[in-house]
Amino acid sequence: MIIVTGGAGFIGSAFVWKLNQKGIEDIVIVDQLSSDDKWKNLVNLRFADYIHKNEFMNLVLEDEVPFEASAVIHMGACSSTTERDADYLWENNYLYSRELAAWALSHNARFIYASSAATYGDGALGFSDDHEKISQLKPINMYGYSKQIFDLWVLKNKLEDKIVGIKYFNVFGPNEYHKGDMSSVIYKAFKQIKETGKMRLFKSYRKEYPDGGQLRDFVYVKDCLNVMWWFFKNPEVNGIYNLGTGKARTWKDLIKSVFAAMERKTNIQYIEMPVALRDQYQYFTEAQMNKLKSAGCPVTFAPLEETVRDYVVNYLQNIDPHLGK
């Protein structure tokens, strides 16, 4: 059995779809559906069972999980970069991960977990995923710190040769529709353009970056799934790795791609950034990808314009935009 935590969420449900594509249905989804639309991500998927995240952790702590697990794909977390409840993030993102990793290792289950590029903070220390540099990172929000401390726990306990951590950069694509404010700018842009004919972007407050010239490493979820599948099929490869394209692009490039995919003329309006965000804003992110390539991962990343078009044309414009069979 394969356990996917956060299996109804964005990347988790997408990986279940990937497993289904490979003919795998012996999957247990662990999540908390609550009252949002996350459940819709499950409708087109095939899996054996669903367990609430709290019930599952109780089973883990009592060592009473009623099946053998060959792998744990741990994508479950609070992913809100604006979450202010530090105690909640500590318990949900760090302690839960720690207990689950220990359980998986004690049962010889492959453990792959989601870290985040938010651990890099403002980027002043670079974006290297070398293990010796991870301890130097200084996240600028509690979400990033909750991911950082688990990475540090992995390294402190010398588990980097036994499990895989993935530092996701700016992931976008189908099955993110429930994420609200945390959904990708592409998803927000599609809705804004459809409703108003224009897209609003934050102005720049640093001279070296023009308005719309702020840079991000945007990576399509389908490319992420290919990397995850490679890790899943190559259990001899372990460690903490970046997952981005390795090539930063501007917000303006991104939005122009959305307008082009919608066959509309580009119309961008630059607006003031809320004061509360200005000290936490990243002007540049770009994954260093040499480590993943050196590990032998053969995955290549499609150009931004191509992936945006696939997302817009084949999903956002569909009545049922979720990943199917």
* Whether 143 is catalytic: yes
Buried b (16+ CB within 10 A) or exposed e, 306-323: ebbbbbbeebbeeeebbb
- Looking at the DSSP bridge assignments, the partners of residue 264 are none
* Whether 311 is catalytic: no
DSSP-assigned letter for residue 269: E
Secondary structure of 214-263 in HEC code, one letter for each residue = CEECEEEHHHHHHHHHHHHHCCCCCEEEEECCCCCEEHHHHHHHHHHHCC
Please report where in the chains the tokens 């993935």 appear, as a residue. 166
**Helical spans, DSSP H, in the chain:** 10-21, 53-61, 86-89, 96-106, 131-134, 142-156, 185-196, 221-233, 251-261, 275-278, 290-294, 304-311
Catalytic-labelled residue, pool 96, 120, 143, 145: 143
Buried b (16+ CB within 10 A) or exposed e, 107-127: eebbbbbbbbbbbbbeeeeeb
Angle at 157 between CA 82 and CA 145, to 5 degrees: 10
Spatial distance between the Cα atoms of 122 and 106, rounded to a whole number of angstroms: 36
Catalytic-labelled residue, pool 179, 188, 247, 291: 179
In sign, the C-alpha dihedral spanning 38, 41, 42, 47 is negative
CB under 8 Å to 18, separation ≥6 — which residues?
225, 228, 229
CB under 8 Å to 122, separation ≥6 — which residues?
140, 282
Q: Which residues are designated catalytic?
A: 143, 179
